[in-house]
């Protein structure tokens, strides 16, 4: 028996079927004869189901992911993270939203998995392959995990947007909101700045803006308010998940947008509903994000739930 990502010995597993691209899950598929081991984690309340697919392939359709994400009938999570083998890094990470769609990046999920892999290998630094690019992670002496989230992209083609424009103020006029700033952190973000954050209906406005025609791949929507020279209050409506307690790439995108607008310096504290993240960006290179992570529990997902045979 080998040890899973949380350090608990896994039961022998059924042999893997041939990897077949299906339902947006890439080439990493697994059919389990009985059950699927997982680790539940969170970063500031942004919660994840982590599945280790390095030794066997993973077979989860979008419908199965939706069943797992159900907080009453499944496990419940904001995103599912699959750990897959990589030829160019310590591991490859695949991210899936609660609606079954695939995400190109997930900052808090990356920090969570980084801690698992560091614990597994007794290491303090890692390189991770994601759809959004190669990321570097390190564990600080205080136990917090820092991830370099890559260089942000701000050209309208890279977000992507449906129209050519200056992404500092995207020509999106909706419900009297200020025009947002668009940023790609491997996934599309639009950050709206204002002074009345608490008065906004983030759930409704986020859902409306996420699917605005100017975002051909939909977008994560941030509602930001500067409350000090190095502090920003932030709420994020995540594409495919809704309002979450924290969003790592959303915090990075808000930092980039704030710095481009001259609102903060090179380091700022982003205060989300789940707590603070320290975000640093020098205006040119990669954005780094630092914060806490926690293992909640480990378990096994019944085959009946995976196959849709539960009521």
Q: What CATH number has the domain bearing residue 94?
A: 3.10.310.10
74 and 40: one domain?
yes
Q: Are residues 138 and 68 both part of a single domain?
A: yes
Q: Is residue 170 part of a domain?
A: no
pTM as predicted: 0.84
- One domain, residues 53 and 117: yes
Residue 8 lies in a domain: no
In a domain, 156, yes or no: no
Paired with 192 in beta bridges are 223
Judge if 145 and 192 occupy the same domain: no
Residue 219 shares a structural domain with residue 264: yes
Please confirm, yes or no, whether 112 is among the known catalytic residues. Answer: no
Residue 92 maps to a domain: yes
Is residue 164 assigned to a domain? no
Which residues in the chain come in under a pLDDT of 50?
A: 1-33
Exposed, middle or buried: residue 93 (CB in 10 Å: 0-12, 13-18, 19+)? buried
CA dihedral 295, 120, 48, 214 (to 10 degrees): 140
pLDDT recorded at residue 198: 65
At 80 the pLDDT is 97
Whether 262 is covered by a domain: the verdict is yes
Euclidean distance between CA atoms 148 and 169, whole angstroms = 26
Q: Are residues 47 and 143 in the same domain?
A: yes
Same domain, 97 and 194: no
Q: Is 173 part of a structural domain of the chain?
A: no
Is 239 part of any domain? Answer: yes
Looking at residue 251, what is its pLDDT? Answer: 98
For 247, list phi and psi in degrees, rounded to 5.
Answer: -140, 115
- Please report the pLDDT score of residue 127 as a whole number: 97
Active site residue 165: no
- Name the DSSP class of 198: G
Q: Are residues 187 and 223 in the same domain?
A: yes
Per-residue pLDDT at 304:
87
Domain shared by 42 and 131, yes or no: yes
Core vs surface per residue 96-130: b (16+ CB within 10 A) or e:
bbbebbbbbbbbbbbbbbbbbbbeeeeeeebebbb
Residue 40: what pLDDT? 98
Which range marks the domain in which residue 102 is found?
35-149+294-306
Together in a domain, 141 and 232: no
Of 25, 112, 165, 247, catalytic: 247
Q: Choosing from 25, 106, 112, 252, which is the catalytic residue? A: 106
Q: What is the pLDDT of residue 2?
A: 41
My answer on whether 271 and 300 are in the same domain is: no
Backbone angles phi, psi at 178, to 5 degrees: -60, 155
Q: Are 269 and 301 in a shared domain?
A: no
Domain count, the chain: 2
């Amino acid at each position: 028996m080998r040890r899973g990502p949380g350090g608990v010995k896994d039961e022998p597993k059924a042999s893997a079927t041939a990897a077949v691209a299906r339902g947006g899950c890439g080439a990493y598929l697994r059919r389990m004869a009985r059950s699927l081991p997982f680790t539940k984690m969170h970063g500031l309340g942004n919660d994840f189901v982590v599945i280790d697919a390095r030794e066997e392939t993973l077979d989860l359709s979008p419908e199965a992911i939706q069943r797992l994400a159900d907080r009453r009938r499944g496990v419940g999570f904001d995103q599912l993270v699959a750990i897959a083998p990589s030829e160019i890094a310590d591991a490859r990470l695949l991210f899936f939203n609660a609606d079954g769609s695939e995400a190109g990046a997930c900052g808090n999920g990356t920090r969570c998995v980084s801690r698992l892999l560091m614990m597994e290998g007794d290491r303090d630094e890692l390189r991770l392959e994601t759809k959004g690019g190669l990321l570097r992670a390190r564990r600080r002496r205080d136990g917090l995990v820092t991830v370099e989230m890559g260089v942000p992209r701000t050209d309208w083609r890279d977000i992507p947007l449906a129209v050519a424009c200056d992404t500092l103020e995207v020509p999106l006029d909706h419900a009297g909101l200020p025009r947002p700033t668009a940023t790609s952190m491997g996934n599309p973000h639009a950050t709206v700045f204002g002074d009345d954050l608490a008065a906004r209906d983030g759930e409704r406005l986020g859902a409306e803006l996420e699917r605005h025609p100017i975002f051909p791949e939909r977008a994560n929507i941030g509602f930001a308010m500067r409350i000090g020279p190095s502090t920003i209050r932030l709420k994020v409506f995540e594409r495919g998940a809704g309002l979450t307690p924290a969003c790592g790439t959303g915090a990075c995108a808000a930092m980039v947008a704030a710095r481009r607008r001259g609102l903060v310096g090179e380091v700022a504290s982003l205060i989300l509903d789940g707590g603070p993240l320290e975000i640093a960006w020098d205006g040119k290179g990669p954005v780094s994000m630092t914060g806490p992570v926690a293992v909640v529990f480990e378990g096994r997902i019944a085959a009946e739930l995976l196959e849709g045979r539960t009521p």
